[in-house]
Structure 1
Amino acid sequence: MKINQELCVGCGQCLPYCPMGAIERRKDTSQINWDECVECGICIRQVKCPVNAIYEPKETMEWPRSVRKVFSDPTSKHENTGVRGRGTEEVKSNDVTARFKRGFFGIALEFGRPGVGTRLGDVEVITKVLAEEGIAFEVANPLTFLMEDVRTGIIKAEVRNEKVLSGIVEFVIPQENLEQVCTKIYESAGKANCIFSWALISRFEPDGKLPVIERLKKIGIKPSQNMKVNVGLGRPLRED
């Protein structure tokens, strides 16, 4: 996004809306820091600019900058996956897809969340380590399409410095690999240039328990009590 400097009156109404703090106050006008803007579109959709100075230039949709918008603006769709947003539906539709099966855990690492953003190259601190462990990244995840080689976890050079609101690394592991993979993630987390949020996806046991919680506690991970729960109302219901 950009602000037309000839129209802007410097009222500053747009400043608090930018989640990246990329709108800067100048002497008489406001200006968007082009390098820090993630093209989320919040400013142009939500700000009631009195002179309509905020606009989306054509460069926004030119490669490689175009990846910023599709990762940061939930109204935009990824061409490779046909999905809107930063990742996939994950567990939200598992009752009808059975994507996460018994005997396996799903893991999602969201870089840049909450509210700090990330350069796409920052995810390599984790993806390269996971690739060395033989992890198969989720093929339907848009971030996977930006890897030079999924066997190495290296992101394509032309998009490494592009900043997005967040990017999600998704994969599935056998339950017996939980401790090993979690340890690798924790060891690598300290080298990351930005914060990332960690989600673990598990099926409930028939008795309603989640044994994975105790396994995590034994290796020093205290899971949050806040979680998303798929209650199984989708039809036709799939178990495997």
Structure 2
Amino acid sequence: MKINPDVCISCLECIDFCPMHCILETDEGVLIDQGDCVECSVCLHSEICPVEAIYRPEESLVYPRAIRLQMSDPSAEHPVFKAWGRGTEEAKTNDVTGKFSHGEYGMLFEFGRPVTGTRLTEVEKITRAVCAHGFEILKENPVFGLLEDKESGLMKKEYRNEKVLSIILEIRFEAERLSEVVKTIFPLLDDLETVVSVGLVTRFSERGDLPVIQELQAQKVAVRPNAKINVGLGRPLIS
């Protein structure tokens, strides 16, 4: 995002609306730090500017910077997956996609949320570890397309220093490898220069319960009571 200096009246109303705190008052006027701007468009969508000086320049839509908009503005559609909100539907459509099956778990690592942001170099630290331990990064996940080497988990050089408001890495593994994920990947999250929320995807058992909760608690992993439940209303339904 940018501010047109010929139109801006320096009212400073927009400054508090930036999640990344990158709208700055300088001797040259009010400007947006292009290095830290994640193209979330909050300043634009809020319509806070009384003179409409805030605008999205063409370079915001050009790669590699375009990845910022796709991962940061929930109103932006991902060009490949045709999904809004960072390009993945996660497990919310699992009844028709069958992305996560019985006997396996999915795990979601959401970097930069809430309102912290992340460089993709931080994401790369986890993708490399995931690949090193043989866990699968989902091809249906936008992060997969950013990888230079699918075996090592290295990011393409042009994307490594891009900054996004948040991004979700989805992995999949056999249920019996849960403790391995907890022991090898979880400790790495503490050393990242951002925040990470972790979600786990599982199917209900035939008894209607979620045994994974006890498995996690046994490994001293706290489990929150809130969850997103796919009730299987989609059609055609995949078992």
Q: Same fold (TM over 0.5)?
A: yes
Instruction: Give the secondary-structure state (helix, strand or coil) at the position aligned to 1:157.
Output: coil
Shift in Å, 1:73: 1.5
Which letter maps to 2:112? G
Percent of aligned pairs sharing the same letter:
42
RMSD of aligned C-alpha atoms? 1.5
Answer yes or no: is the 8 Å Cα contact 2:78–2:87 preserved in 1.
Answer: no
* Structure-2 residue corresponding to 1:70: 70
Cα distance per residue 1:197-238 (max 9 Å; x no partner)? 101001111222111011101111011111111122223322
Aligned length: 239
User: 181-190 or 100-109: which moved more?
Assistant: 181-190
Shift in Å, 1:59: 1.5
Cα distance per residue 1:169-200 (max 9 Å; x no partner)? 11111100000012111221122111111010
Cα distance per residue 1:128-185 (max 9 Å; x no partner)? 1110111221111111101011110111111111100111111111100000012111
* Structure-1 residue corresponding to 2:110: 110
Q: Determine the C-alpha separation between the residues in 1 that align with 2:119 and 2:38.
A: 10
Q: Determine the C-alpha separation between the residues in 2 that align with 1:7 and 1:23.
A: 16
Q: Determine the C-alpha separation between the residues in 1 that align with 2:78 and 2:237.
A: 28
User: Per the alignment, do residues 28 and 127 of structure 1 end up closer, same or farther by CA in structure 2, a change over 3 Å counting?
Assistant: closer
* Structure-2 residue corresponding to 1:17: 17
Shift in Å, 1:72: 1.0
Consecutive unaligned residues in structure 1, runs of 5 or more: none
User: 76-85 or 119-128: which moved more?
Assistant: 76-85
Consecutive unaligned residues in structure 2, runs of 5 or more: none
Q: Determine the C-alpha separation between the residues in 1 that align with 2:176 and 2:123.
A: 25
Shift in Å, 1:28: 7.9
* Structure-1 residue corresponding to 2:122: 122
Shift in Å, 1:27: 5.4
Instruction: Give the secondary-structure state (helix, strand or coil) at the position aligned to 1:177.
Output: helix
* Structure-2 residue corresponding to 1:144: 144
Answer yes or no: is the 8 Å Cα contact 1:10–1:28 preserved in 2.
Answer: no
Q: Determine the C-alpha separation between the residues in 2 that align with 1:144 and 1:28.
A: 41
